[in-house]
Amino acid sequence: MLPRAKKSYGQNFLIDQSVVDKILVAAEITKGESILEIGPGTGLLTQALVGSKARVVAVELDHDLIEPLVNHFGDKIELIEGDILRLETLPVEDRAYKLIANIPYNITSPIIEKFLTQAPRPSRMILMVQREVADRIVAKPPQMSLLSVVCQLYANCSRVVNVRAGSFRPIPKVDSAVVQFDLKHSSDPLAERIIHLAKMGFISKRKQLHHNLLPYLRVRKPEATSEDVKAMLVSIGHDPRVRAENLTIEDWVKLEKRMNA
């Protein structure tokens, strides 16, 4: 019998073993490898991770789930009670590791930001997210968004599997998807500047990109005009009337370098 899910924690417990199996295949776990699991919940995914001979470190916020997890797994996992976003140090700080999680959707953004940008970064993340969010993360032109740019700047992103709402209890109002993030060994040293530029680019989706980016360029070159921005867009292979959703990660990197030359 499943424990009662708590709305305050955004809990929806995964019950579909076939989804767990696909997560395990995508994770490509080797014996003894460190796996950080956020929100083990009822332990369905945790059991599969233990079965793969991984060294599992699980962080669970819900105090009521701690005792059942301890009773079931004992010393087969390292269980930590706490909020993953508030832990001062990660329990895998000195080791290479992968992150696997069926996370509450209300903390999706901070989880992604934390583990993409802050050390120690995992080599791979396998995350359950809302289907709509997954679509945005893995999008390609002409469907790019700011979320796409941020995620793909730090990692190679791909969809593992779409997950129907009925795979959870209680059943959520939306479908989900599992997304794989293979983190790049070294993110672009100018990542923050590129993201700032992209934020400006997406600030008004209905406007052509040169309108949105002119204020950014004028901070550096007060005499700049829209024609200057258009020329830069042409120089990276785009129509001067292009919109932000049409640019690739490589385009944003090139554009940032031109605007700060």
Question: How does residue 95 score in pLDDT terms, banded at 50, 70 and 90?
Answer: confident
For range 206-223, the mean pLDDT = 95
For range 132-145, the mean pLDDT = 97
Q: What is the pLDDT of residue 105?
A: 87
* Architecture of the domain delimited by 191-259: Orthogonal Bundle (1.10)
Give the torsion sign (CA, 227, 233, 236, 239).
negative
88/91 Cα distance (integer angstroms): 10
* Architecture of the domain delimited by 7-183: 3-Layer(aba) Sandwich (3.40)
184/192 Cα distance (integer angstroms): 15
Instruction: Flag whether the pTM goes above 0.75.
Output: yes
Domains in the chain: boundaries:
7-183, 191-259
Residue 150 sits at the vertex; the CA angle it makes with 235 and 116, to the nearest 5 degrees, is 135
The amino acid sitting at 88 is: E
- Count the helix, strand and coil residues of the chain and give each as a percent rounded to the nearest 5: 45, 20, 35
